[in-house]
């Protein structure tokens, strides 16, 4: 039995954390899977097979020392590090225990700030494998000479039951972190123009503040959209699913993305995505076929209004969005298979997953 630890900064509600929690801790074939977090968040219930740091601040160097000490005292066969703060521990572990297999997991094509870029660059050279959430992330972040140890991990978390597709309404939804990378200011501009024609339009924005909520609320007031846009904060998965059932379109005009898990989930839910062609989105969203791809606002606005006036065309696009993800490999299966490969197994997967 090989022991496999996935190290993450904290137990949050972002795509990285949601995907990580989609794998049950415990035995999967010949692998024993655990989740470790650098720090602990108040109110988070610890699951079996999870290890949370004793501290609550990622700014405290002691948190990194504690995580490293745990791994040195009881070294697993494989450590996978997600996000640059976890990569610090990977670097130290690999220098002190080079026999422990490691994989660096990259989740965005954006190199981030200077410290992020530097740490991940060093971890790439030391790690035995480099995993990425998309081909866009792998090609953007990993030097060509290191592509030989790169692997793309599917970020499809679950296969969903086929939803019913009704008559489209001017109802829009977004879920994810309210961060500048999500381009929500542009999304509000597009929505405001659509509302000018469709007075009953509504846009629900779901997710925690990532630094731009105050700006978004000011823009909503400036555009006089207070009765048409709801910022509701973070919600549970079942609440997000309910909001998706009430909507017809998923609106996200990101300036930077990796796989964009929320867009994938929206397509599986039968929503037509209105998205910018960034990161992996450009590979799976095809304008006029399964999505409205925003290259300029005016063209996208006209396309949405045309879909509202043509229900059969809307339903055909929504079906194409759903069909794109049917039969695709799941994150869990890809991750466990990649772990087995790093640990030297020849078979495609770890066994019963």
Phi/psi of residue 200, nearest 5 degrees = -90, 10
The residue assigned the tokens 């005016």 is 298
pLDDT at 352 over 70: no
Amino acid 19: pLDDT: 87
The reply to whether domains 2-156+329-342 and 171-324 share a CATH topology is yes
CA-CA-CA-CA torsion for 299, 301, 302, 308, nearest 10 degrees? Answer: 150
pLDDT per residue as tens digits for the range 150-171: 999 998 888 888 888 999 999 9
What is the per-residue pLDDT across 274-329, written as a single tens digit (0 to 9) for each?
A: 999 998 999 999 999 999 999 999 999 999 999 999 999 999 999 999 999 998 99
> What pLDDT, on a 0 to 100 scale, did the predictor assign at position 44?
62
CATH topology of domain 171-324: Rossmann fold (3.40.50)
The per-residue pLDDT of the chain, averaged, comes to: 92
Question: Residues 221-276: pLDDT tens digits?
Answer: 999 999 999 999 999 889 999 999 999 999 999 998 888 999 999 999 999 999 99
Rounded Cα gap, residues 86 and 16, in angstroms = 12
Give pLDDT, residue 349. Answer: 38
- The per-residue pLDDT for range 114-148, each reduced to its tens digit, is 999 999 999 999 999 999 998 989 999 999 999 99
Domain edges within the chain: 2-156+329-342, 171-324
pLDDT of residue 16: 87
Domain 2-156+329-342 = CATH 3.30.465.10:
no
């Amino acid at each position: 039995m090989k022991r496999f630890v996935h190290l993450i900064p904290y137990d949050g509600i972002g795509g990285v954390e949601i995907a990580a929690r989609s794998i049950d801790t415990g035995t999967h074939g010949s692998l024993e899977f655990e989740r470790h977090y650098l720090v602990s968040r108040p109110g988070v219930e610890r699951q079996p097979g999870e290890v949370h740091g004793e501290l609550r601040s990622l700014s405290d160097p002691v948190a990194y020392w504690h995580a490293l000490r745990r791994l040195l005292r009881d070294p697993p066969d494989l450590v996978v590090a997600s996000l640059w703060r976890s990569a610090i521990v990977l670097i130290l572990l690999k220098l002190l225990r080079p026999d422990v297999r490691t994989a660096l997991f990259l989740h965005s094509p954006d190199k981030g700030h200077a410290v992020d870029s530097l740490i991940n660059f060093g971890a790439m050279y030391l790690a035995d494998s480099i995993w990425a959430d998309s081909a866009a992330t792998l090609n953007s972040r990993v030097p060509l000479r290191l592509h030989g140890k790169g692997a793309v991990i599917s970020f499809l978390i679950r296969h969903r039951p086929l939803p019913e597709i009704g008559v489209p309404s001017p109802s829009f939804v977004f879920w994810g972190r309210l961060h500048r990378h999500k381009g929500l200011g542009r999304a509000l501009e597009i929505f405001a123009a659509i509302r000018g024609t469709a007075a009953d339009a509504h846009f629900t924005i779901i997710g925690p503040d990532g630094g731009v909520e105050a700006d978004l609320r000011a823009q909503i007031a400036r555009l006089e959209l207070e009765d048409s846009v709801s910022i509701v904060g973070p919600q549970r998965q079942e609440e997000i699913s309910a909001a998706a059932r009430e909507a017809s379109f998923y609106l996200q005009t990101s300036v930077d993305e990796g796989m964009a898990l929320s867009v994938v989930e929206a397509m599986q839910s039968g929503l037509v995505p209105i998205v910018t062609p960034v990161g992996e989105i450009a590979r799976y969203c095809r304008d006029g076929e399964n999505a409205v791809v925003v290259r300029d606002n005016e063209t996208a606005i006209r396309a949405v209004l045309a879909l509202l006036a043509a229900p059969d065309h809307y339903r055909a696009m929504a079906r194409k969005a759903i069909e794109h993800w049917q039969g695709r490999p799941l994150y869990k299966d890809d991750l466990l298979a990649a772990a087995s490969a790093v640990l030297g197994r020849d078979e495609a997967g770890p066994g019963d997953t």
